[in-house]
Amino acid sequence: MEFESKIISRQIGDILYASGYTIGTAESCTGGRISEAIMAIPGSSNYYKGGVVAYTDEVKEKLLGVSHEVLEEKSAVSEEVAREMALGTIKAIGVDFAIASTGVAGPGGGTAEHPVGTIWLAYGNKDEVKTFKLTEDFGRDINLAIATNKAIRLFLDFLKELDIKSE
């Protein structure tokens, strides 16, 4: 894991540990990389409850409660699915916060509507889930590294907006 991700994960950990809040993850294209970044910090078992690698639509539906209709209408590579994955994680795992990812990391699998490099991130709590769309293709490994780093950075910013203190 890159140095910047470790710093961000440490800051997230400090805030969640001190506040008593918990987090879970739901990942499709990132395949557990966001979970790895969060749990790489010693003591993360105090706030990181777990995650789901929901690589198929079936798992997104069955474990996370993502709507079959939304998956059919919008596809798995959509803002709506990312949002439902985050909310489903909060409910299924019983956490205060969640981060989710879904998209096309490459090198194949892209379409005209969702080209390689299109990755939706969602993060938040039961009251507010924010989303962010990545659209550039730098190759699979870099796409996944960028998505992971961006997801935890956005989540850290979200915690700071809520003014949750780490002290």
Answer yes or no: is 18 within a domain: yes
Answer yes or no: is 97 within a domain: yes
For the stretch 53-65, pLDDT in tens is: 999 999 999 999 9
Specify the pLDDT at position 3: 83
d(CA 32, CA 105): 13
Structural domain of residue 101, as residue ranges?
A: 3-161
Answer yes or no: is 167 within a domain: no
Answer yes or no: is 73 within a domain: yes
Specify the pLDDT at position 165: 60
Answer yes or no: is 166 within a domain: no
Interaxial angle between packed helices 57-64 and 79-89, expressed in degrees from 0 to 180 and rounded to the nearest 10: 40
Answer yes or no: is 113 within a domain: yes
CATH number for the domain spanning 109: value is 3.90.950.20
Q: Look at the chain and report how many structural domains it folds into.
A: 1
Q: Which of 40, 51, 32 lies closest to 9, judged by CA? A: 40
For every one of its 167 residues, what pLDDT tens digit does the chain have, with 9 covering 90 and above?
A: 578 889 999 999 999 999 999 999 999 999 999 999 999 999 999 999 999 999 999 999 999 999 999 999 999 999 999 999 999 999 999 999 999 999 999 999 888 889 999 999 999 999 999 999 999 999 999 999 999 999 999 999 999 999 876 54
d(CA 74, CA 81): 8
DSSP per position, 12-30: HHHHHHHHT--EEEEESTT
Answer yes or no: is 149 within a domain: yes
